[in-house]
Structure 1
């Protein structure tokens, strides 16, 4: 990923972005072709791996032992030059994104598989949800496990980009923030907050 120095993301914020934007695009090469799967990935407790699973028919499962690329996209939005104090400007897009590269390995340990599935459910189910995985029929869960291929990606390279108008003056950035804050979209408000944080 092309990242000018002013847009580089600090390591701790990279981890935070993965935690907050877990639905990833996993890209790999398979039989000479590029292939991608959209799926949630969990960051391991030691922050050294990404954990997930494929549906068994997914041909991307054959990428085990190979390097893969995982893309995590955060909030993003259009930035209009009409918001600037000058007419010598062009449109752009502000966003945050993380790329993680690593080696994909198939997980076969039943205990690790079950733990990863429990963690996945726990992360995304609300705290007051009626769904409790440990209350679901065990045979039913075991049957469903036969339809997935669990994996772990040992992270070898991690990088993040936060393009938040850092290449503009603080005055102009504040003008952009003001315009974004009056727009109704969640992405616009999220980018406005990130821009504020980057100034303070």
Structure 2
């Protein structure tokens, strides 16, 4: 991922938190010269490995999930919030006119060794963690125990799990750090008026860069 120094984030806790906050990530692998990608929710174990380990699952019918027994390298793309930035928000537009549109966003790329597995116990443990993560706090949280045992067994037979131990972690926090303080404040104010909640999320990150890890240590 191309990341100019102003946008680079390197602190491990900040990067891991961004992975946890990602709603849907993208697993990219290569097999015999062919690139494959799947959109998947993932669960991060921050204590497994030096930079953490990611777990998820694919449909068994997915060609990317037919690599049972193989070990290779993979890339997990974990998107954060993003928002369009119009030049009209820059005070410098009125001064020089030398401005163009851009896009502000947060993204994490995690690379490492990928292992596929189909062991029912490992799959059940993975699904329990993923389900608990997304069901906790709901008025009537669903759990695996709510499904009939034979139905759940059939569902487990239709998926394969994957494990990606992170060996390289890259973070890009593109939040107008290359603009003047006045232009940056103009973007924050403009995003704050947008109806899109993602725009509000970017404005909040821009307003508290140190708390959010912008620009690395």
Does TM, normalized by the shorter one, top 0.5?
A: yes
Deviation string 1:8-55 (CA, Å, 9 cap, x unpaired) is 113211111110104111111123221111111110141521001110
Distance 1:199 1:150 in 2: 36
Structure 1: state its 5+ residue gaps.
none
Q: CA deviation at 1:199?
A: 6.5
Question: TM-score when scaled to structure 2?
Answer: 0.86
Give the secondary-structure state (helix, strand or coil) at the position aligned to 1:29: strand
Structure scoring higher RCO (CA < 8 A, sep ≥ 6) equals 2
Q: CA deviation at 1:130?
A: 4.5
Matched, 1:122 2:122: no
Structure 2: state its 5+ residue gaps.
212-217
Q: CA deviation at 1:152?
A: 0.8
Give the secondary-structure state (helix, strand or coil) at the position aligned to 1:95: strand
Distance 1:176 1:45 in 2: 34
Question: TM-score when scaled to structure 1?
Answer: 0.93
**Contact 2:82–2:198, Cα closer than 8 Å, also in 1:** yes
How many pairs were matched up? 200
Distance 1:75 1:168 in 2: 20
Which contiguous aligned blocks of 4+ residues in structure 1 show a shift greater than 6 angstroms? none
Number of the residue aligned with 2:5: 5
Distance 1:132 1:41 in 2: 17
Distance 1:32 1:54 in 2: 20
The root-mean-square deviation of aligned C-alpha atoms, in Å, is 1.6
Number of the residue aligned with 1:26: 27
